[in-house]
Structure 1
Amino acid sequence: MFSYRSLQLGDLETLCSFPQNEEELYFMFPKAVYPLTPDQIEEVVKNRLEPTVILCNQEVVSYANFYDHDGESCWLGNVIVSPEYRGKGVSQYLIGIMENIGREKLKVQKIKLVCHNTNTRGILFYMKHGFKPYDISLRVKPSGEYIAGLHMEKYL
Protein backbone atom coordinates (compact mmCIF):
# COMPACT_ATOMS: atom_id res chain seq x y z
CA MET A 1 0.00 0.00 0.00
CA PHE A 2 2.80 2.44 0.90
CA SER A 3 6.16 3.09 -0.75
CA TYR A 4 8.97 5.57 -0.16
CA ARG A 5 11.58 7.63 -1.95
CA SER A 6 13.85 10.62 -1.42
CA LEU A 7 12.31 14.07 -1.18
CA GLN A 8 11.99 15.89 -4.50
CA LEU A 9 11.56 19.60 -5.16
CA GLY A 10 8.03 18.98 -6.47
CA ASP A 11 7.00 17.55 -3.07
CA LEU A 12 7.49 20.78 -1.14
CA GLU A 13 4.10 22.39 -1.82
CA THR A 14 2.33 19.21 -0.71
CA LEU A 15 4.37 19.03 2.50
CA CYS A 16 3.51 22.66 3.25
CA SER A 17 -0.18 21.74 3.30
CA PHE A 18 0.24 19.11 6.08
CA PRO A 19 0.56 21.32 9.22
CA GLN A 20 -2.99 22.46 9.96
CA ASN A 21 -2.07 25.14 12.48
CA GLU A 22 0.87 26.76 14.26
CA GLU A 23 1.04 24.05 16.93
CA GLU A 24 1.24 21.20 14.39
CA LEU A 25 3.98 23.05 12.54
CA TYR A 26 5.85 23.53 15.82
CA PHE A 27 5.67 19.77 16.50
CA MET A 28 7.04 19.07 13.01
CA PHE A 29 9.48 21.92 12.54
CA PRO A 30 10.03 24.12 15.64
CA LYS A 31 12.11 26.75 13.82
CA ALA A 32 9.57 27.30 11.03
CA VAL A 33 7.04 30.11 10.85
CA TYR A 34 3.40 29.30 10.12
CA PRO A 35 2.26 28.89 7.41
CA LEU A 36 5.04 26.59 6.19
CA THR A 37 6.58 27.52 2.83
CA PRO A 38 8.76 25.57 0.39
CA ASP A 39 11.65 27.97 1.09
CA GLN A 40 11.66 27.03 4.77
CA ILE A 41 11.86 23.32 3.94
CA GLU A 42 14.57 23.89 1.31
CA GLU A 43 16.69 25.79 3.82
CA VAL A 44 16.52 23.13 6.56
CA VAL A 45 17.06 20.23 4.12
CA LYS A 46 20.53 21.63 3.33
CA ASN A 47 21.66 20.36 6.75
CA ARG A 48 19.61 17.16 6.89
CA LEU A 49 20.27 13.57 5.90
CA GLU A 50 18.03 11.17 4.01
CA PRO A 51 14.97 13.42 3.54
CA THR A 52 12.31 10.80 2.83
CA VAL A 53 8.69 10.88 1.71
CA ILE A 54 6.09 8.14 2.03
CA LEU A 55 3.74 7.64 -0.89
CA CYS A 56 0.28 6.12 -1.15
CA ASN A 57 -0.81 5.62 -4.77
CA GLN A 58 2.03 7.95 -5.84
CA GLU A 59 0.70 10.73 -3.56
CA VAL A 60 3.05 12.14 -0.90
CA VAL A 61 1.47 11.41 2.49
CA SER A 62 4.32 11.69 5.01
CA TYR A 63 7.85 13.01 5.50
CA ALA A 64 10.88 12.79 7.83
CA ASN A 65 14.66 13.22 7.81
CA PHE A 66 17.72 12.83 10.02
CA TYR A 67 20.19 15.29 11.52
CA ASP A 68 23.20 15.36 13.86
CA HIS A 69 24.64 12.02 12.77
CA ASP A 70 27.61 11.20 15.02
CA GLY A 71 28.47 7.69 13.83
CA GLU A 72 26.65 5.91 16.66
CA SER A 73 23.30 7.71 16.52
CA CYS A 74 21.29 10.32 14.65
CA TRP A 75 18.21 12.39 15.35
CA LEU A 76 14.87 11.92 13.59
CA GLY A 77 13.33 15.23 12.59
CA ASN A 78 10.60 17.03 10.69
CA VAL A 79 8.18 14.11 11.03
CA ILE A 80 4.73 14.83 9.62
CA VAL A 81 1.78 12.97 8.13
CA SER A 82 -0.94 14.32 5.86
CA PRO A 83 -4.11 15.02 7.86
CA GLU A 84 -6.07 12.70 5.54
CA TYR A 85 -3.75 9.78 6.34
CA ARG A 86 -3.38 10.08 10.10
CA GLY A 87 -4.42 6.94 11.97
CA LYS A 88 -4.07 4.79 8.83
CA GLY A 89 -0.67 3.17 9.42
CA VAL A 90 1.47 5.74 7.61
CA SER A 91 3.38 6.79 10.74
CA GLN A 92 4.25 3.20 11.57
CA TYR A 93 5.47 2.61 8.00
CA LEU A 94 7.48 5.87 8.06
CA ILE A 95 9.20 5.00 11.35
CA GLY A 96 10.04 1.52 10.05
CA ILE A 97 11.56 2.95 6.86
CA MET A 98 13.56 5.57 8.76
CA GLU A 99 14.86 2.91 11.17
CA ASN A 100 15.99 0.80 8.19
CA ILE A 101 17.68 3.79 6.56
CA GLY A 102 19.40 4.65 9.84
CA ARG A 103 20.62 1.11 10.35
CA GLU A 104 21.58 0.26 6.75
CA LYS A 105 22.69 3.56 5.19
CA LEU A 106 23.87 5.62 8.15
CA LYS A 107 25.09 2.60 10.16
CA VAL A 108 23.71 3.94 13.45
CA GLN A 109 22.92 1.89 16.53
CA LYS A 110 20.22 4.19 17.84
CA ILE A 111 17.80 6.86 16.72
CA LYS A 112 16.93 9.82 18.94
CA LEU A 113 14.10 12.32 18.72
CA VAL A 114 12.41 15.11 20.65
CA CYS A 115 8.65 15.00 21.20
CA HIS A 116 7.01 17.93 22.97
CA ASN A 117 5.09 17.24 26.16
CA THR A 118 1.97 18.81 24.63
CA ASN A 119 2.03 16.19 21.84
CA THR A 120 0.51 13.34 23.85
CA ARG A 121 -0.45 11.41 20.72
CA GLY A 122 3.15 11.58 19.48
CA ILE A 123 4.64 10.52 22.82
CA LEU A 124 2.35 7.49 23.04
CA PHE A 125 3.06 6.56 19.41
CA TYR A 126 6.83 6.66 19.89
CA MET A 127 6.64 4.69 23.15
CA LYS A 128 4.49 2.05 21.42
CA HIS A 129 7.22 1.73 18.78
CA GLY A 130 10.07 1.19 21.22
CA PHE A 131 11.34 4.70 21.91
CA LYS A 132 12.23 5.34 25.56
CA PRO A 133 12.45 8.75 27.28
CA TYR A 134 15.92 9.65 28.61
CA ASP A 135 16.00 13.43 29.09
CA ILE A 136 13.89 16.59 29.09
CA SER A 137 14.77 20.05 27.78
CA LEU A 138 13.08 23.42 28.05
CA ARG A 139 11.40 24.60 24.83
CA VAL A 140 9.64 27.86 24.01
CA LYS A 141 6.72 27.87 21.60
CA PRO A 142 6.27 30.84 19.22
CA SER A 143 3.57 32.10 21.61
CA GLY A 144 6.22 32.38 24.34
CA GLU A 145 4.76 29.45 26.31
CA TYR A 146 7.28 27.16 27.98
CA ILE A 147 6.94 23.45 27.29
CA ALA A 148 9.12 20.38 27.75
CA GLY A 149 10.94 18.60 24.96
CA LEU A 150 10.94 14.91 25.84
CA HIS A 151 14.13 13.33 24.48
CA MET A 152 13.54 9.73 23.40
CA GLU A 153 15.78 7.05 21.88
CA LYS A 154 15.51 3.61 20.38
CA TYR A 155 18.30 1.10 19.96
CA LEU A 156 18.15 -0.57 16.56
Structure 2
Amino acid sequence: MKKLLLVSITAVMLMFSAWSNAGLMTELTEDTYITSNGLDWTWASKWGTGSTAAPEQPTFHVGWRYATTQELDYLFENLVNLFLNSGSPIESTAFWNDENQVGVNQGDLSGGYIMSGANIMSYGNGLICTGSTPCDTFYVRERVEVPAPASIALWALALVALRSVRKKT
Protein backbone atom coordinates (compact mmCIF):
# COMPACT_ATOMS: atom_id res chain seq x y z
CA MET A 1 0.00 0.00 0.00
CA LYS A 2 2.84 2.38 0.85
CA LYS A 3 4.46 1.60 -2.48
CA LEU A 4 1.27 2.39 -4.37
CA LEU A 5 0.88 5.68 -2.48
CA LEU A 6 4.51 6.64 -3.17
CA VAL A 7 4.21 5.87 -6.88
CA SER A 8 0.93 7.78 -7.11
CA ILE A 9 2.41 10.85 -5.42
CA THR A 10 5.42 10.72 -7.74
CA ALA A 11 3.16 10.43 -10.78
CA VAL A 12 1.06 13.42 -9.69
CA MET A 13 4.22 15.48 -9.09
CA LEU A 14 5.47 14.62 -12.57
CA MET A 15 2.16 15.72 -14.10
CA PHE A 16 2.52 19.16 -12.57
CA SER A 17 6.21 19.61 -13.38
CA ALA A 18 7.56 21.88 -16.13
CA TRP A 19 7.00 20.97 -19.74
CA SER A 20 9.78 19.68 -21.91
CA ASN A 21 10.67 21.91 -24.86
CA ALA A 22 11.15 19.66 -27.86
CA GLY A 23 11.35 20.67 -31.49
CA LEU A 24 9.45 19.26 -34.39
CA MET A 25 10.93 16.37 -36.33
CA THR A 26 12.62 17.75 -39.45
CA GLU A 27 15.30 16.93 -41.96
CA LEU A 28 17.39 19.93 -40.84
CA THR A 29 20.12 19.04 -38.38
CA GLU A 30 20.33 20.94 -35.09
CA ASP A 31 23.60 22.63 -36.07
CA THR A 32 21.92 24.41 -39.01
CA TYR A 33 19.53 26.65 -37.08
CA ILE A 34 19.39 28.84 -33.96
CA THR A 35 16.66 28.85 -31.32
CA SER A 36 15.80 32.24 -29.85
CA ASN A 37 12.71 34.13 -28.71
CA GLY A 38 10.49 31.04 -28.99
CA LEU A 39 11.44 30.39 -32.63
CA ASP A 40 13.88 28.30 -34.61
CA TRP A 41 15.72 30.48 -37.14
CA THR A 42 17.53 29.21 -40.22
CA TRP A 43 19.67 30.95 -42.84
CA ALA A 44 18.17 29.30 -45.91
CA SER A 45 19.92 30.97 -48.84
CA LYS A 46 22.30 33.62 -50.10
CA TRP A 47 19.58 34.54 -52.58
CA GLY A 48 16.29 36.34 -52.07
CA THR A 49 12.93 34.72 -52.66
CA GLY A 50 12.39 36.81 -55.83
CA SER A 51 15.69 35.76 -57.42
CA THR A 52 15.98 33.24 -60.26
CA ALA A 53 18.23 31.25 -57.87
CA ALA A 54 15.66 31.48 -55.05
CA PRO A 55 15.60 28.71 -52.44
CA GLU A 56 12.73 26.28 -51.95
CA GLN A 57 9.73 27.71 -50.13
CA PRO A 58 9.74 27.24 -46.34
CA THR A 59 6.97 24.65 -46.51
CA PHE A 60 9.43 22.36 -48.34
CA HIS A 61 10.38 21.21 -44.81
CA VAL A 62 7.65 20.58 -42.22
CA GLY A 63 6.89 23.42 -39.80
CA TRP A 64 8.98 26.19 -41.41
CA ARG A 65 7.44 29.47 -42.60
CA TYR A 66 8.36 32.94 -43.81
CA ALA A 67 9.50 35.32 -41.07
CA THR A 68 7.55 38.53 -40.53
CA THR A 69 9.20 41.94 -40.85
CA GLN A 70 9.21 42.26 -37.05
CA GLU A 71 10.90 38.87 -36.73
CA LEU A 72 13.57 39.87 -39.26
CA ASP A 73 14.14 43.08 -37.31
CA TYR A 74 14.65 40.95 -34.18
CA LEU A 75 17.13 38.79 -36.09
CA PHE A 76 19.07 41.86 -37.27
CA GLU A 77 19.13 43.36 -33.77
CA ASN A 78 19.94 40.19 -31.80
CA LEU A 79 21.11 37.21 -33.84
CA VAL A 80 23.66 38.43 -36.41
CA ASN A 81 26.72 37.45 -34.35
CA LEU A 82 25.21 34.06 -33.49
CA PHE A 83 24.63 33.29 -37.17
CA LEU A 84 28.08 34.56 -38.22
CA ASN A 85 29.60 32.30 -35.54
CA SER A 86 33.14 33.76 -35.72
CA GLY A 87 33.56 33.00 -39.42
CA SER A 88 31.82 29.60 -39.42
CA PRO A 89 28.25 30.64 -40.25
CA ILE A 90 25.30 28.65 -39.00
CA GLU A 91 23.29 28.02 -42.15
CA SER A 92 21.12 25.42 -43.84
CA THR A 93 21.55 26.27 -47.52
CA ALA A 94 22.17 22.62 -48.45
CA PHE A 95 18.61 21.80 -47.33
CA TRP A 96 16.89 24.52 -49.42
CA ASN A 97 18.99 25.05 -52.57
CA ASP A 98 20.52 23.34 -55.58
CA GLU A 99 24.05 22.00 -55.05
CA ASN A 100 25.62 24.93 -56.94
CA GLN A 101 23.81 27.51 -54.74
CA VAL A 102 25.08 26.32 -51.34
CA GLY A 103 26.76 28.82 -49.00
CA VAL A 104 25.96 32.27 -47.65
CA ASN A 105 27.16 35.84 -48.01
CA GLN A 106 28.19 36.96 -44.52
CA GLY A 107 28.41 40.58 -45.69
CA ASP A 108 24.73 40.56 -46.63
CA LEU A 109 23.74 39.58 -43.09
CA SER A 110 26.11 42.09 -41.49
CA GLY A 111 24.78 44.83 -43.77
CA GLY A 112 21.14 44.01 -43.12
CA TYR A 113 20.38 42.61 -46.57
CA ILE A 114 18.00 39.98 -45.22
CA MET A 115 14.52 38.91 -46.22
CA SER A 116 12.04 36.08 -45.92
CA GLY A 117 9.11 36.17 -48.36
CA ALA A 118 8.42 38.61 -51.18
CA ASN A 119 8.68 42.16 -49.81
CA ILE A 120 9.35 40.95 -46.25
CA MET A 121 12.62 42.64 -45.32
CA SER A 122 14.40 43.91 -42.24
CA TYR A 123 14.84 47.62 -41.68
CA GLY A 124 18.55 46.81 -41.27
CA ASN A 125 19.44 48.22 -44.68
CA GLY A 126 16.21 49.79 -45.83
CA LEU A 127 16.67 48.75 -49.46
CA ILE A 128 14.18 46.71 -51.39
CA CYS A 129 15.72 43.37 -52.27
CA THR A 130 15.72 42.92 -56.03
CA GLY A 131 17.79 41.02 -58.56
CA SER A 132 20.39 43.81 -58.52
CA THR A 133 20.34 44.03 -54.72
CA PRO A 134 19.94 40.44 -53.55
CA CYS A 135 19.17 39.66 -49.94
CA ASP A 136 19.85 36.48 -47.99
CA THR A 137 16.76 34.46 -47.05
CA PHE A 138 15.81 33.39 -43.52
CA TYR A 139 12.96 31.12 -42.40
CA VAL A 140 11.48 30.47 -38.95
CA ARG A 141 9.33 27.87 -37.21
CA GLU A 142 7.47 27.89 -33.91
CA ARG A 143 8.79 25.87 -31.00
CA VAL A 144 6.35 23.20 -29.82
CA GLU A 145 5.74 22.41 -26.16
CA VAL A 146 5.67 18.67 -25.58
CA PRO A 147 4.26 17.50 -22.22
CA ALA A 148 6.87 14.80 -21.62
CA PRO A 149 6.63 14.66 -17.79
CA ALA A 150 2.86 14.19 -17.93
CA SER A 151 3.25 11.37 -20.46
CA ILE A 152 5.79 9.65 -18.24
CA ALA A 153 3.48 10.00 -15.25
CA LEU A 154 0.56 8.44 -17.12
CA TRP A 155 2.80 5.59 -18.23
CA ALA A 156 3.91 5.02 -14.63
CA LEU A 157 0.30 5.02 -13.39
CA ALA A 158 -0.63 2.46 -16.03
CA LEU A 159 2.20 0.19 -14.90
CA VAL A 160 1.13 0.51 -11.27
CA ALA A 161 -2.46 -0.30 -12.19
CA LEU A 162 -1.39 -3.36 -14.16
CA ARG A 163 0.79 -4.57 -11.32
CA SER A 164 -1.86 -4.04 -8.67
CA VAL A 165 -4.57 -5.94 -10.51
CA ARG A 166 -4.69 -9.50 -9.22
CA LYS A 167 -5.69 -12.34 -11.39
CA LYS A 168 -9.07 -13.69 -10.35
CA THR A 169 -9.53 -17.44 -10.52
In which range does the TM-score fall when normalised by the shorter chain? Answer: 0.3 to 0.5
Larger Rg computed on CA atoms: 2
Which structure has the highest strand share of the two?
1
Structure richer in helix, relative to its length: 2
What TM-score do the two structures reach when normalised by structure 1? 0.34
Q: Which has the higher contact order (CA 8 A, sep 6+)?
A: 2
Instruction: Tell me the TM-score normalized by structure 2.
Output: 0.32
